[in-house]
Amino acid sequence: MTPLRQRMIDDMRMRNLSTNTQDAYVRVVAAFAKQFHRSPDQLGPDHVREYLLQLVRRKVAWSTYNVARSALHFFYRVTLKMDWSPGEIVCAKSPKRLPVILSRDEVRRLLAGARRIKTRVMLTTIYATGVRVSELVGLKVTDIDSQRMTIRVWQGKGQKDRYVMLSEKLLTVLREYWREHRPTDWLFPGDKSGRPLARRVVLTNCRAAARRVGLTKPVTPHTLRHAFATHLLEDGVDLRTIQALLGHRSIRTTALYTYVSPEKVRSTRSPFDTLDDARASTTTALPNDPTDDGGVS
């Protein structure tokens, strides 16, 4: 590892950036340097602009673009202490798209499509609690509290701890899984001893289960988190509670699910349906006036 990379990592650690953010930022700066075949401390704003424009031409996701922009901004402003204003590295406006939502029947089919009990329990846990994949693989056996019927999520996104519900049905599923696999530390251990399962394994198994049962929607583990929130909303759970369960910083993020709930959409009466009712009500309320000649008084 070069001294420059180590300095950047130390800068991120001092600011307590998450491990995922650190890994992403390091990958961006490494790719940036590789493109120009020079050390990044020998490159400048024009190179950054060219690199970001190439990302646009490659049509990468705007979220990927903004991660690259943030990584380079951190590297030059913090690690190299170059006095760049944020406006010199343009931040793209990401389009707001509604998430894909599975119906309850589709969730049942997806869970049934998991061949191995470990995969089925992982996907069930995401849907039953709304945890993110990174939070799922970070769960330990001791995080399951059957006395209080809660699961503790350590250092979720934004480095915040929270509790989520542990349903009776999920507890039964987890006990069945524990009797077969006997995990002692990580709830879902990986192939390497002492390491949790990799997130990509969860994604691969989730997609395989979706294909197996013929789901045509694009399905990822995060789709189950969206389904968790949407189905809670349809069951009448208030947004503040859903916000706390999901670990959202802002209620505006949680409010997204009010736009994607099919039940909420179908149960809301269109004002068009009330037009005839309003006309009939008006006609009944205004009796004929024999003195009315149609003029304007």
**Span 209-249, pLDDT tens digits:** 999 999 999 999 999 999 999 999 888 888 899 999 998 88
Residue 16 inside a domain? The answer is: yes
Query: What single DSSP character describes residue 107?
Result: H
Query: Domain of 127?
Result: 104-258
Kindly state whether residues 7 and 108 are assigned to the same domain. no
Kindly state whether residues 124 and 245 are assigned to the same domain. yes
Judge whether residue 189 has pLDDT over 80.
Answer: yes
Residue 276 inside a domain? The answer is: no
Residue 94 inside a domain? The answer is: no
Q: Which residues are catalytic?
A: 132, 157, 222, 225, 248, 257
What's the pLDDT at 1? Answer: 77
What's the pLDDT at 283? Answer: 55
Kindly state whether residues 46 and 146 are assigned to the same domain. no
Model pTM? Answer: 0.70
Tokens read off for 254? 């949680």
121 contacts: CB under 8 Å, gap ≥ 6: 173, 174, 176, 177, 188
| CA dihedral for 149, 152, 156, 158, sign (positive or negative) | positive
Give me the number of domains the chain comprises.
2
Domain CATH number, residue 50: 1.10.150.130
Kindly state whether residues 110 and 39 are assigned to the same domain. no
Kindly state whether residues 13 and 152 are assigned to the same domain. no
Reported as type and span, the H/E element at residue 254 is: helix 251-254
What order of strands is seen across the sheet that includes strand 144-145?
144-145, 150-156, 160-165
Closest of 94, 22, 38 to residue 63, by C-alpha: 94
Kindly state whether residues 112 and 16 are assigned to the same domain. no
Judge whether residue 275 has pLDDT over 80.
Answer: no
Residue 248 inside a domain? The answer is: yes
Kindly state whether residues 244 and 108 are assigned to the same domain. yes
Kindly state whether residues 113 and 241 are assigned to the same domain. yes
Residue 40 inside a domain? The answer is: yes
What's the pLDDT at 89? Answer: 66
Kindly state whether residues 246 and 154 are assigned to the same domain. yes
Kindly state whether residues 120 and 33 are assigned to the same domain. no
Average pLDDT over the chain, rounded to an integer: 86
Kindly state whether residues 59 and 132 are assigned to the same domain. no
Residue 297 inside a domain? The answer is: no
pLDDT band at 36 (very low <50, low <70, confident <90, very high): very high
Q: State pLDDT tens for residues 60-97.
A: 888 889 899 999 999 998 999 987 665 666 666 666 77
For residues 128-153, give the mean pLDDT. 93
Q: Characterise 287 by phi-psi region: left (phi > 0), alpha (psi -120 to 50), beta (else).
A: beta
Domain CATH number, residue 164: 1.10.443.10
246 contacts: CB under 8 Å, gap ≥ 6: 130, 225, 229, 254
Tokens read off for 170? 């999920």
Kindly state whether residues 246 and 124 are assigned to the same domain. yes
Residue 278 inside a domain? The answer is: no
